[in-house]
Amino acid sequence: LPEIVKSYYPWINVIPEHIPDNAITERVAVAYATDSCPDILYDTYSRIAPAVSGGLAVDLTDVYEANKDVFIAEPQDGVKDGKHYYLPVYADAPYCVQVNMDLAEELGVADLLPAEEEPWSYEEFLTLCRAVKAADPNIYPISLFGGSQSSDGWDFSMFLGSGARFLNDDKTASIVNQPGNREKIIEVLELYQTLAEEKLIPDGAAAMTAGDCGAMFRAGQLLMCAGAYNGIPGLYHQMEDGNCIEMNAVGRLQPSPNGEMVTTASYGTGGLAVYDSNGKAEAAKLVVDALMKDQAWRQAVISTAGVSPVTVDVIAEYETPELTQMMAFATEVFNTYGDSSWGILDPFWTDTRSVFFPLKQDLFTGNITPEEFVEQWEPLMTDAIANYNAG
C-alpha cells in the first residue's frame, strides 16, 4: 500500500499498522474517547460509524466526487447530512461454518456435512459434532469464544437465523426478552450450552478470542471454525505463507433451527475513514484518493479477502474454479439473505458489546442459564444504548 500511494503522491509516506482482531474494538473505542485517532482507519463500517455520528471523521465528499464513477452505486454507509465521511472498498460476505474437508474425510464424518448449497438444522449440526468427538477425542468439532469484544456478528447471525430481533423500531431499547424474540434467542443459547456441556467446544471458551479459535483451526485442531465466507480465500493465502496447515477449506451455511435458508447477518461494508487528530487530514485524504484510483489494489482486496466488490472495475476471481464457484454462492446468499439493519451499523453497537460478552462468558462457564441470559441482557443493552446516546 505505501508504494501504491507513492505512485500517485510521491511525497506521502504511509506507515501501516495491523491491529489484531481481538484488540481492535477496544483500541478504536479508546481512540474515539481520547481524540487520538489514526490518520486513516481501514476497517468495517460498524467500527467507523461512531466517528461519523460523533463528528470525528473528516468529510471525504470531494474525494468521492472525484472518483464517483468507479462506484457501482452511490455509497450509503457513512453519509451524514448529504456528505460522505467514509468510502467503502468492499461489501460483506455472509457468515458460515468454515470446514476442513480433509479432516472430515479422515474422521469419517464427511457424509454428515450438507452439500455446499444445502441448509442444515441444529440437530444435524449436533449429530456431526458428536460423531467427530466419537471418532477422535483429541479433535474438537468447533470452537466458540467469549473473550474478545469483537466478531459478535457470527452470534447475531445465529440469532437472526432463528428469526429474532434485538432492538425496537427507533433503536432506543432492547427487545431481546420480549415474546417472539426471547424463545428464539434461547434456542440458540441452548445450542451453545449443549456444545459446552458435552465438551464439543474446548474448555475455556469463555476466555478464548476469535483469533484463538482461528489459530486452532489453522493448526488442524478443529473440524470447523465459526467465521465467514470471506475468511476462506484468506486461509489459502495463509497456507502459501506457511501459517496454516494444508487443507481443503470450504464453507457451509450456518445451521438453522429447522434446516431452512434463513437471514444471515451482514456488517455492510468495509472501507476507509480519515481523522484529523494528528493534523494530517489533507494528506490522509490523498491516500484515500489514491486507493480509489488504483484498480489493481482494489482488485487485490477483493481477490484475497473473499468479499464482494462495490466498484465497477473489479471482479471477484480466485485461484481455482471451485473457490470462485463457492464465493459466487456466498455473494448470492449475501444478496438474498443478508441483513445489516439489526444494529451493527449503529454508532452505539460497540458499547452494547460490553454487556453481551460478559453474559456469553457466564453462559459458557455455567454461571447462568439461557433464560437468565436474555432476562439480564435486555436491561443491560437498553442501558448501554441510553448511556451512549446521553454521552
User: 145-192: per-residue pLDDT in tens?
Assistant: 998 877 888 999 999 999 999 999 999 999 999 999 999 999 999 999
Range in 30-34, 178-182, 282-286 with the lowest mean pLDDT: 30-34
Question: What is the average pLDDT across 232-245?
Answer: 91
- % residues pLDDT > 70 (the chain): 100
Q: Are strands 95-100 and 224-228 parallel, antiparallel or unpaired?
A: antiparallel
181-190 contact pairs (CB < 8 A, 24+): 182/374, 184/159, 184/257, 185/159, 185/370, 185/373, 185/374, 186/370, 186/371, 186/373, 186/374, 187/122, 187/162, 187/257, 188/155, 188/158, 188/159, 188/162, 188/164, 189/363, 189/370, 189/373, 189/374, 190/370
Decide if pLDDT at 41 tops 90. yes
pLDDT value for 214: 94
Phi, psi of 94 (to 5 degrees): -75, 160
pLDDT value for 306: 76
CA dist., res. 251 & res. 259, Å (int): 16
pLDDT value for 230: 85
Alpha helices in the chain (DSSP H): 2-8, 21-34, 45-53, 61-67, 101-107, 122-135, 153-161, 182-197, 210-218, 231-241, 281-293, 295-305, 321-337, 349-364, 370-390
**Bridge partners, 228 (sequence order):** 95
Decide if pLDDT at 61 tops 90. yes
For residue 316, the one-letter residue type is A
Phi, psi of 224 (to 5 degrees): -130, 155
Q: Which residue has the higher pLDDT, 228 or 286?
A: 286
Decide if pLDDT at 305 tops 80. no
Decide if pLDDT at 377 tops 90. yes
Q: Which residues contact 236 (CB under 8 A, 6 or more apart)?
A: 249, 319, 323
Q: What is the mean pLDDT of the chain?
A: 93
Prediction pTM value: 0.83
- HSE, CB side, 13 Å, CA atoms: give it for residue 76: 6
CA dist., res. 96 & res. 254, Å (int): 5
**Among 178, 109, 192, residue whose Cα is nearest residue 360:** 192
| Phi-psi label, residue 380: left if phi above 0, alpha if psi -120 to 50, beta otherwise | alpha
Range in 69-73, 225-229, 320-324, 376-380 with the lowest mean pLDDT: 320-324
Question: What is the average pLDDT across 356-360?
Answer: 95
What is the C-alpha R_g of the chain? 21
pLDDT value for 335: 82
Decide if pLDDT at 320 tops 90. no
